[in-house]
Structure 1
Amino acid sequence: MKINYQESIYPLLKLRKLLIFMLLCLFTINIGWAQDQRISIAAKNKTLLTTFEEIEKQTGLSIAYNQTKLNINKKVDKNFDNKSLSSIFTDLLQDSGFSFRFEDKHIIIVPVEQPKKQSSGNSPKKITGTIVDGSGLPIIGANVVVEGTSSGTITDLDGRFSLDVPAGSKLQISYIGYLSKTITINNNTVYNIQLTEDTQALDEVVVVGYGTEKRVNVIGSIAQVSSEKLANRSTPMLSNALAGQMAGVTVIQRSGRPGNSSGQIRIRGVASFSNDENNTAKADALVLIDGIPGDLNDINSEDVESISVLKDASTAAIYGARAANGVILVTTKTGKEGKISISYNGYVGMNKATALPKFVNSWEYASLLNEADGKEYYTQAEIQKFRDGSDPDNYANANYLDEVFSRNGIQTGHDLTLNGGTSSNRYMLSFGYLHQDGLIKKNNYERYNTRLNLITDILPNLTITTRLAGTYATRNEPTGKMLDIVSSAVRMPGLWPTFLSNGELGLGGKSEGTPPSVLYSNSFFEEPDFKVNAQIRVDYSPIKDLKLSAIGGFNYKNLEQRTYNATRQLANQTIGPSTLKHEMRKTIYKTFQATADYSKQIDKHSLGVLIGYSWEEEAYRTLIGERDKFPGNDLPYLNAGSPDNQKSSGGGNDWAIQSLFGRLRYNFDERYLLESTIRYDGSSRFPKDNKYGFFPSVAAGWRISEESFFKENEDLDWINNLKLKASWGILGNQNIGNYPYQTVFELGQNYPFGDNYALGAAVTTATDPTIKWEETQTVDAGFESVFWNGQLSFNASYFYRKTYDILYKPSGSISSVLGQKISEMNTGKLKNTGWEFEIGHRNQIGEVSYNINGNFSIINNKVMSLGVGNVEQLNGMVGNGSNLFINYPIDMYYGYKTDGVFLTDKEVGEWADQTKVNPNSQAGDIRFKDISGPDGKPDGVVDPNYDRVYLGSRIPKYTFGLNLGAEYKGFDIQVQLQGVAGVKGLLSGFSGWALCGDGNIQRWQADGRFDPANPQRYPKYPRLQSVRNVQEQNMEVSDFWLLDASYLRLKTVQVGYTLPGSILKKAGISRLRLYVTAENPCTWNKYREGWDPEINTEGNYYPILATYTFGINLKF
């Protein structure tokens, strides 16, 4: 079996001589005791592997061997009754070509050494070396063999080896769970070799709900990302590091704003109408950090051991009411037995925008404005002044967006980790620091992390695990409405200078200053966020095969927001008054969980039973204070402001949930697999009669590769694992807000009483007292396969997810009939179906090892019903009339089909009558298509009631990722590509339309506009016109404005070099790696120039950042 020898005891070599002597004596006694220890085992007809596992359970010793060399499937032909370990292993390894030895708490099985064959011209020389893993920890028991011979050895407890080899020969290094490596012996005598973990190993353990499971025995759909794929990434938000890593997991980053740039994670589509304004349920996945709910983006990636994503009901149903949108399990690193190791990872680099729109010059703008309206707003003399800069105070040529995004920000990260311990106490202590400058002045994000994970074995059967984590983060921005500055910089033409020639700030076009002028004021926005997470876990095994566990967890969050708008001096006027808003939000979360886990192996039958109870409670409080008219900008505190217009408010809410859950696992010979889970949840968010929900699941699997007819067929020995699997289950969603079923009285409903008005309150919203759980029913089927000893793997799955009783607020047309607003009702149905594919390949050619991993997902999303919100449109479509229609994806675009533009005014009369859309159509205007009419056929009239159709969805249909890696003589390279397809985008308003609200003109609009002198049927932009009403003329939603938002992004490129150990040894350094990284350096797309298709939004645009860093990994 696979043993994690990084957690083994390191010899204490630097103690005083007396202690060394005493320890050696004890060590010798321990070995003597181990090999003379007597046990009884019913081993007859069992495999060596099963027998080894039983020996480990009875003795507490670990057994190390090379799985690729030793035939662990060999059947044992006898039982052992009260036999010593020495005699048992002598019998087990008889005629196998292997021998054994005892070292401390390890039994190490090695090949029997054969006489060494030396070639006549190559005299042997002695070499030494160390074998380590990806973290720099020694690998104990790794096999080191001279290629083509039986000469070899294994590494000791420090991962060291010594061997006589012929010059020019090659060494083959292998170890269970790691990719083998071959090196050529040159003139060096010291070799330090790093093995890469084999992520396709069949005995890999996967984190699942409330436990772990061998990957080969997992039936449900689980994707797991190891720490190696997250290490050294310069992504401040961990969620973004998951993009492109797993099939069925879509991560979309909608902003590059420091401190607010997290990725939106969607697992197998969207299970609720979360993107619609009439729906309060959220489509966010449940994130559990070491079993306790938390925020994925608060975690330092260097603290993460693995991230598992539970995608189907069979794996997620054990979390019941909170699992409808998938579950993300984060496991943090723990201490490892041995001497203390100190690791430092640090980087520094630069940020820049991936995409920013370009604008015309001021003199071009003036000329184009004259053209658009057919009026001379600017004379030729004035246009010349813009061009030559002779009067910069009145005729400027500014680019406000460049002035706002005026810098390349600095980003740096530093992480220090201490790891070690004894056999009974292991610890991991880490410290992290991150600083990220934005592209805007006074915009940055700073975060401090610390974590302590402590494992204490009180007794052999009693373990206490303590986990403490703290985060302090601060987001700073130049004003509370920083994105409004960006929006204004996009909209406002650069006709006015930010600074006048005398150094004063200019008034701008509306006597409020230019957009960048706010950056030079004393205004600010700061958001300090302090979080503490604590948990203690007790594991107790009263009898063999039974483990009782209890967890107590506590999360505390205190977030503040201070928004100060300072008085500003612009030329000859002061803008004010100054205002300050101070908001405090506090959240306290508490949980208790208890589980009993029983597992039993009887011959080929394996049974596991888990039962548990959990209780969660959260309290949220908020307090807000506001004042204005501060005497100056030096004291931005509430007590310095005027009390005349002060405001104060506060509030809070509480919720709780308690649950019973259970899981049954059974497998026969790791061939036939069965699993079932149930969860019974009760949530305070629902009315009494619907407070509880029941969520079951069942899954089955068949490992065909373990059948005798398969294993005995030599033509199929290249297939190592082939498993079919299927599952069904029901999940719930309680993320609906607090108590939406309760009747609420709205204050301010005053009424006349005599000659005065009396204070009053009224019920203005009709609520549904029968609200119940949203439920998602999931069916999953697929297969997993591994070929050629893990060199190739391929997995495929099909899923069907149907969500019932979606909470939805019916449209305003329903409300108008009732005379009241309507709250949420269980009235919607939604379906997600799709396919997931994963392929992996790894190999070694000479001294080059490489790996390729790809994933591809197809997700089809469809609204099935809006219940009482089903409003039939005149064109026959049923929905809310905007973005939700039956049998179409959610978040869809609903508008007109078009066919270019009119080339002449005459063509307008020859086209279908479109006066209901554009009453004054002319040459250069968009030609809207006549699709249908009252009788379902084109009627020669373009009508909004009959001719609007489905144009596409903002949710991607296809997602994909490709990860490439290679290593050669200390050099390594990692490349990741990620993208989406089958998705549409729309830029409207000042982001997509020229002269919108007297706004600016982008370069592509000017260059691609319709030109009457050279008319083109399909220009990039119709005729220029001032847009003062978003519903007028050419600006209706149509496929003319719709964009292909597909993209392929080069997500990460990292190149590193690890210095040879022979150079580092003298300095006491075990590992030193230098690397350079580029995040988001390149994107291929057909989106609008200067706009990022991943953000795919109109306003509030902050470009995703491209980051270039230099880093170092150092380990002592």
Structure 2
Amino acid sequence: MKKTYDRKAFKRKLQSRKLTVIVIIRFVMILLAGYPLLASAGERNTPREESHRVKGKVVDRKGVPLPGVTIRLDSTTVGSVTGQDGTFVLLLPEREGVLVFSFIGYETVRVKYSGENTPLLVTLKEKVSALDEVTVIAYGTQNKREVVGAMSTVKGEDLEDIPSPSLANLLQGRVAGMNVLNTTGAPGGGGISVIIRGFNSLSIESSRRGSEPLWVIDGVPMLSFTSPVTGTNTLADIDPNDIESVQVLKDAASAAIYGSRAANGVILVTTKKGRLNQRAKVSVNMSRTFIFDPALPDITGGHRERLHRLEALRDYQQAAYNGETNTYEYVAGYKDSYLNRLQYDYFWNMGDGANVAPYQDSLNKFYNNSTNLFDYYFRTAKVTDASLQLSGGSVGMTYNVGIGYYDESGVLRNTGFGRVKILGNFCMIPFPKLEANMRFYLARAERKRSSREINRYGFTTGAELEQIPEELLNTSTVLPGPGNAAFDELVKRFET
């Protein structure tokens, strides 16, 4: 049976299928659109979690708003930060609790809140911490990290346990750029020069004296110089055990108060003081130090020295032949006498010149002595340093009282230095903004020195340097030793 195409029937089929597709799509869209309604209906059946509103403001101690303060509900991660005006608003799940406020540079604060709508006012305090040590400068105090000038600091504990009467000696090698020149090692610290900012003259002596810095002891200016009467340096009157700190100012900050006197720099010395609300503290320091003899020269003494002297006396009367000049020459000293002892002409030796009579050593014990004067004039020096300090304070007063004793005997006889001192630092604070300070320092220094002082060509004064007696090289060792009147008379010349 042959099938024929019926256009109308085919069109009716397509229309019926299209209708079916449209119906299905509409049904799906209606179903999806109705899903939120079902979900909303489900949510209405579930109870919603309640939130509580908390607001407030954060300021500092002066009432200035603090922006950026972190606010957090204690033991949770719920939190926020304050705005530019320091205010905040929080929605918290709990009606009551504790809020934690934290900010850099301020102490953390914990504040309780309740369900009331009263705004909170939170005040944060600055967090005080010792970021660095406090440094004394010419016009006050600053933290060391804030100081941009050329300055060095030496603490008092770095200067302890060193047997030296002079503060300048203790600073040697401890401050960068500081030159400490010691022109003498005599007890008492005489002849010491401290240079910070270089020399300001081409003349050696005037540059050394005119280039020293200004010393300021607890606010009192003092110049470092060697006394022409006692030969001691003024810094030797200060006991290093009483020093709290030393600041060396090298740049323009040193001229902030002291002006032209600080052209060569300023050295600020701060003595020890008591502390508020501190119990009485007793500090005792005692030390005993020995300084041994230096390396002494080897000498020819006794019988050997006498033979050299006799040979020299004999050769002084004779002339030695000099082959280079073809002449006879007289000796000029012991050295020439010894070197030319084999060159003396036989004719001159046996001629008319008077010969020195030989001494019989075995019959005269005086010439058998061998007294080493170096061993007597040099000695083992002893240094005794003792100090006692009492410090403390109460609510409105601090105190520090100290006494000290220092005694040093030099390696040369008839040299030495002694010091007795007493120190008192008192501070009373009757009112919060009123402070009264009273300080006193009494010292008595004494230096032993001989009259053999160098003062040649204007390079130094006699009070700064002492010379070793020439008698040590010229006096014969055949003289009797200690316990003899001749020896006692000899040593008097050493000590005067």
Structure 1 length-normalised TM: 0.28
Cα-to-partner distance string for 1:267-293 (whole Å, 9 max, x where unaligned): 13212346347x796222111101112
Contact 2:369 2:480 in 1 (8 A): no
Cross-structure match for 2:452: 481
Gaps of 5+ in 1: 1-37, 49-74, 82-87, 101-106, 110-140, 142-175, 178-201, 508-512, 524-564, 566-1116
The equivalent of 1:410 in structure 2 is: 382
Q: Distance in 2 between matches of 1:485 and 1:400?
A: 16
Residue correspondence of structure 1 range 420-431 to structure 2 within 5 A: 420-431=392-403
Structure 2: distance between partners of 1:312 and 1:452: 32
Residue of 174, 178, 201 corresponding to 1:249? 178
1:266 paired with 2:180, answer no
Counterpart residue identity of residue 186, structure 2: R
Relative to 1, partners in 2 of residues 1:80 and 1:421: Cα closer, same or farther, differing over 3 Å?
farther
**8 A Cα contact 1:231 1:301, kept in partner:** yes
SS in 1 for 2:211: coil
Distance between the aligned counterparts of 2:467 and 2:363, measured in 1? 28
Corresponding residue of 2:152? 223
> 2-side partners of 1:217 and 1:356: how far apart?
50
Indicate the SS of the match to 1:487.
coil
- Equivalent residues in 2 for 1:558-597 (5 A)? none
Q: Which of 416, 420, 428 in structure 2 is aligned with 1:448?
A: 420
Letter in 1 for 2:212: D
> 1:222: Cα distance to partner?
0.6
Q: Give the alignment of 1:893-932 within 5 angstroms.
A: none
In the superposition, the TM-score normalised over structure 2's length comes to: 0.58
From 238, 243, 255, the equivalent of 1:299 is: 238
Query: For 1:302 and 1:498, how far apart are their aligned partners in 2?
Result: 47
C-alpha contact (below 8 Å) 1:258/1:436 kept by paired residues: yes
1:472 to 423, 434, 444: 444
Shift of the 208–480 alpha-carbon distance from structure 1 to 2, 3 Å rule, reads same
Looking at structure 2, the residues matched to 203 and 226 of structure 1 have their Cα atoms a distance apart, in angstroms, of 14
Q: Note if 1:349 corresponds to 2:324.
A: no
Aligned partner of 1:237: which letter? Answer: S
Give 1 or 2 for the bigger CA radius of gyration.
2
Amino acid at match of 2:290: M
In structure 2, stretches of 5+ residues that fail to align are 1-59, 71-80, 88-97, 111-124, 223-233, 313-332, 342-348, 350-354, 454-464
Q: Deviations over 1:320-352 (max 9, x none)?
A: 211222211101111101111111111122122
Residue 249 of structure 2 corresponds to 310
Query: 1:495 maps to what in 2?
Result: 476
Contact (CA 8 Å) 1:205, 1:213: kept in 2 or not?
yes
Structure 1, residues 1029-1087: CA drift from partner, whole Å, max 9, x if none? xxxxxxxxxxxxxxxxxxxxxxxxxxxxxxxxxxxxxxxxxxxxxxxxxxxxxxxxxxx
2:188 and 2:198 mapped to 1: Cα distance?
26
Letter in 2 for 1:92: S
Residue 424 of structure 2 aligns with an amino acid whose one-letter code is L
Is the counterpart of residue 290 in structure 1 residue 218 in structure 2? yes
Q: Which amino acid aligns with 1:372?
A: D
CA distance, structure 2, for counterparts of residue 497 and residue 108 of structure 1: 84
Q: Distance in 2 between matches of 1:328 and 1:336?
A: 24
CA distance in 1, matches of 2:174, 2:439: 28
Is this contact kept in 2: 1:437–1:445, CA < 8 A? yes
| 8 Å Cα contact 2:401-2:422 kept in structure 1 | yes
**Which protein, 1 or 2, shows the higher relative CO under an 8 Å CA cutoff with sep ≥ 6?**
2
Structure 1 distance, partners of 2:487, 2:287, is 41
Larger strand percent: 1
> Hey, what's the Cα distance between the residues in 1 that align with 2:396 and 2:64?
31
Q: Secondary structure of 2:443's partner?
A: strand
Change in CA separation of 1:385 and 1:396 when aligned onto 2, cut-off 3 Å: farther
Q: Is the 8 A contact 2:251 2:265 kept in 1?
A: yes
1:78, CA displacement in angstroms? 7.3
On the 8 A contact 2:214/2:264 being kept in 1, the answer is yes
Q: Distance in 2 between matches of 1:268 and 1:391?
A: 65
Instruction: Please say if residues 223 and 310 of structure 1, whose CA atoms lie closer than 8 Å, have aligned partners that are also in contact.
Output: yes
Counterpart-to-counterpart distance in 2, 1:226 and 1:334? 14
2:289 partner amino acid: G
SS in 1 for 2:236: helix
Q: How does 1:115-264 map to 2 (within 5 A)?
A: 203-261=132-190, 263-264=192-193
Amino acid of the residue matched to residue 487 of structure 1?
P
Judged with a 3 Å threshold, the aligned counterparts in structure 2 of structure 1 residues 390 and 461 are, in CA distance, closer, same or farther, namely farther
Tell me the distance in 2 between the aligned counterparts of 1:461 and 1:333.
Answer: 22
Deviation >4 Å, runs of 4+: 45-48, 75-81, 96-100, 364-369, 373-376, 388-392, 482-485
Partners of 1:270 and 1:227 lie apart in 2 by 28
Structure 2 Cα separation of the partners of residues 212 and 389 of structure 1: 80
1:429, distance to aligned residue in structure 2 (A) = 0.9
Once residues 257 and 39 of structure 1 are traced to their aligned partners in structure 2, the CA distance between those partners, rounded to angstroms, is 60
> Matched residues in 2 for 1:306 and 1:296: separation?
15
CA distance in structure 1 between the partners assigned to 2:429 and 2:165 by the alignment: 35
CA distance, structure 2, for counterparts of residue 79 and residue 498 of structure 1: 100
Residues 868-920 of structure 1: per-residue CA shift (max 9 Å, x gap): xxxxxxxxxxxxxxxxxxxxxxxxxxxxxxxxxxxxxxxxxxxxxxxxxxxxx
Deviations 1:611-660, CA, capped at 9 Å, x for gaps: xxxxxxxxxxxxxxxxxxxxxxxxxxxxxxxxxxxxxxxxxxxxxxxxxx
Q: 1:47 to 1:228 in 2, by over 3 A?
A: farther
Contact 2:426 2:437 survives alignment (8 Å):
yes
How far 1:451 moved relative to its partner? 1.0
Q: Does 1:42 find its partner at 2:64?
A: yes
Which amino acid in 2 is paired with 1:399? N
Number of the residue aligned with 1:92? 102
Partner of 2:485: 504
Query: Larger % of helix: which?
Result: 2
Which position in structure 2 is the counterpart of 1:747?
none
Report what 1:393 is aligned to: 366
Structure 1 residue 93: deviation in Å?
Answer: 6.6
Q: What one-letter code is carried by the residue in structure 2 that aligns with 1:289?
A: I
- Percent identity, aligned pairs only, is 26
Q: Deviations over 1:53-73 (max 9, x none)?
A: xxxxxxxxxxxxxxxxxxxxx
1:484/1:446 Cα in 2 relative to 1: closer, same or farther (>3 Å)?
closer
Q: Is the 8 A contact 1:239 1:262 kept in 2?
A: no
Distance between the aligned counterparts of 1:210 and 1:297, measured in 2?
27
| CA distance in structure 1 between the partners assigned to 2:180 and 2:373 by the alignment | 31
Q: Structure 1 residues 233, 410: CA separation in 2 closer, same or farther (over 3 Å shift)?
A: same
**For residues 215 and 312 of structure 1, what CA distance do their matches in structure 2 show?**
15
User: CA offsets, 1:359-402, max 9 Å, x none?
Assistant: 431436647944325677xx9x99x989x898563465443333
Q: How does 1:752-763 map to 2 (within 5 A)?
A: none
Aligned 8 A contact 2:245 2:269 in 1: yes
> What SS does the aligned partner of 2:412 have?
coil
Change in CA separation of 1:304 and 1:274 when aligned onto 2, cut-off 3 Å: farther
Partner residue of 2:335 out of 371, 376, 389: 371
Q: Answer yes or no: is the 8 Å Cα contact 1:309–1:326 preserved in 2.
A: yes
Equivalent pair of 1:289/1:331 in contact (CA under 8 Å):
yes
RMSD: 4.3
Q: Distance in 1 between matches of 2:181 and 2:174?
A: 13
The Cα of 1:258 is off from its aligned counterpart by 1.6
